[in-house]
Amino acid sequence: MNGNYLLAIVLGIGFVAGLRSFTAPAVVAWAAHLGWLNLQDSRLAFMGSTAAVTILSLLALGELFADKVPGVPRRTSIGPLLARIGTGALSGACLGVAANQSLLPACVLGGVGGVVGAFVGYEVRRQLVTQRHFKDFVVAVVEDLTAIGLACLLVFR
C-alpha cells in the first residue's frame, strides 16, 4: 500500500474518532475480528477479540444515543477531546500495523485526526444548527451516518 494513501486513511479514521469517539475503534475491531485487518502477532491483536468487539460496539451504540441528550459535554472540552485523541490513536495504530507500517507515526496521525474531527465536526454542527436552522437531532443523525459510513469506507477498503 502506498505510504501516502495509508497516511490519508489513518488521518481519516482519526477524523471519524473526532466525530464519534467509539465508532472508529468499533469498526476497526469488527474488521480485525472478521479477519479483514491482520493484527495477529501484534500488541494490538486484542482488538479482534470477541470481548473488544462487544465492548466497543456497545460503547459506540451508547454514544450514538447519548449524543442526542441535552447537557452532554462538548466534544471539544478536555475529557471528550482526550477520548477522541486516544481512540483515534488506537484506531490509526491498528490500521498502520495491519499495513505492516510503523506503529508510532500511525498512532500520532490517528490522534491528530481525532483533534481535527472533533473541532471540524463541532463547528459544522454548530453552524448548521444556529445559522442554517436545521434541527440539532437531524444534524446529529447525519453526523452519525457520516462517521459510520466513512469508518467503513476507510477500514473495509
How confident is the model over 58-102, as pLDDT tens digits?
999 999 999 999 889 999 999 999 999 999 999 999 999 999 998
Region 48-64: mean pLDDT is: 98
Phi, psi at 78, each rounded to 5°: -55, -45
Mean pLDDT of 17-38: 97
If one counts the domains in the chain, the total is 1
Q: What's at 28, amino acid-wise?
A: V
Which structural domain range is residue 41 located in? Answer: 3-155
Residue 1's pLDDT band (boundaries 50, 70, 90)?
A: low
pLDDT at residue 142 greater than cutoff 90: yes
Q: Does residue 3 surpass a pLDDT of 80? A: no
| Overall average pLDDT of the 120-143 stretch | 97
User: What's the rounded Cα separation, in Å, for the pair 20 and 117?
Assistant: 9
Question: What pLDDT shows up at residue 53?
Answer: 98
Give the Cα separation of 24 and 18 in Å (integer): 9
Contact 17, 29 (CB under 8 A): no
